[in-house]
């Protein structure tokens, strides 16, 4: 509807517009969830080191990082070849551990995420699809306003669910770790 076309009843329609809208929606869904929100971020998830001394990362994990309170500065990990890679020691092998505690940002299917985020993803994908298909400046401006409002609702949902406070993050172990405004400002 955002590009002036009639809505479709099925996604199996062989239409270039439907294909563009679908791929845009999938891309935006991944991008938004990659930011890491309260609903899709977990801390201290135990990942078992396998018999090859490697840690395999599930495909649904968008971001992974070793939990800094469980492992301090022992590892600096990244995702490579579907496994955790230790950049300090330049290896996939974790011989000193049986379990690594990892902070994970998960990817969920569109129907499994909160409504505020579905609305935001839809608004953002609609604006991008309109820009790709019709390039009408007035339509894009209207869709940008919808996107900004939907993002504000998503952030509101996130802050309500996150139980944030300005003095300390409840999950942190140190009572002296203050709230970091720069983390909120980047959103």
Cβ-contact 40, 47 below 8 angstroms: no
- State yes or no: pLDDT of 164 exceeds 90: no
Taking the mean position of all CA atoms in its chain, how far away is CA 104?
Answer: 10
Does residue 49 lie within any of the structural domains?
yes
For 151, the domain range is: 16-36+109-162
Same domain for 100 and 149, yes or no, is no
Mean pLDDT of the chain: 85
Q: What's the domain count of the chain?
A: 2
* Residues of the chain above pLDDT 90, percent: 58
Same domain for 141 and 101, yes or no, is no
Same domain for 50 and 66, yes or no, is yes
- State yes or no: pLDDT of 186 exceeds 60: no
Taking the C-alpha atoms of residue 52 and residue 92, their distance in angstroms, rounded to an integer, is: 9
DSSP β-bridge partners for residue 79:
84
pLDDT in tens, 13-35: 677 788 888 899 999 999 999 99
Entry pTM: 0.81
- State yes or no: pLDDT of 176 exceeds 50: no
Does residue 32 lie within any of the structural domains?
yes
- Rounded-to-10 torsion of CA 13, 5, 30, 146: -160
Locus of tokens 């600096």: 76
3-state class (DSSP) for residue 44: strand
Q: What is the pLDDT of residue 4?
A: 67
Same domain for 120 and 146, yes or no, is yes
Same domain for 127 and 149, yes or no, is yes
Same domain for 113 and 154, yes or no, is yes
pLDDT in tens, 46-105: 999 999 999 999 999 999 999 888 887 888 999 999 999 999 999 999 988 899 999 999
Cβ-contact 2, 139 below 8 angstroms: yes
Residues shown for the chain: 187
Same domain for 115 and 32, yes or no, is yes
Same domain for 118 and 70, yes or no, is no
Does residue 138 lie within any of the structural domains?
yes
Average pLDDT over residues 104-122: 96
3-state class (DSSP) for residue 80: strand
> Looking at residue 40, what DSSP letter applies?
G
Does residue 169 lie within any of the structural domains?
no
Same domain for 32 and 78, yes or no, is no
Total Cβ atoms within 10 A of residue 67: 17
Same domain for 117 and 102, yes or no, is no
């Amino acid at each position: 509807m955002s590009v002036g076309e009639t809505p479709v009843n099925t996604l199996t329609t062989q239409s270039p517009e439907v294909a563009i809208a679908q791929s845009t929606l999938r891309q935006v869904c991944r991008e938004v969830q990659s930011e890491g929100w309260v609903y899709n971020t977990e801390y201290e998830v135990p990942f078992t080191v396998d018999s090859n001394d490697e840690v395999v990362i599930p495909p649904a994990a968008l971001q992974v990082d070793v939990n800094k309170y469980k492992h301090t500065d022992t590892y600096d990990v990244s995702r490579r070849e579907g496994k955790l890679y230790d950049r300090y020691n330049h290896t996939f092998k974790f011989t000193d551990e049986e379990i690594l505690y990892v902070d994970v940002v998960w990817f969920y299917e569109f129907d499994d995420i909160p409504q505020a985020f579905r609305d935001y993803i839809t608004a953002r994908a609609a604006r991008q699809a309109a820009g790709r298909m019709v390039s009408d400046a007035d339509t894009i401006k209207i869709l940008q306003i919808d996107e900004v409002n939907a993002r504000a609702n998503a952030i509101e949902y996130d802050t309500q669910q996150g139980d944030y406070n300005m003095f300390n993050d409840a999950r942190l172990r140190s009572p002296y770790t203050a709230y970091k405004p720069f983390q909120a400002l980047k959103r």
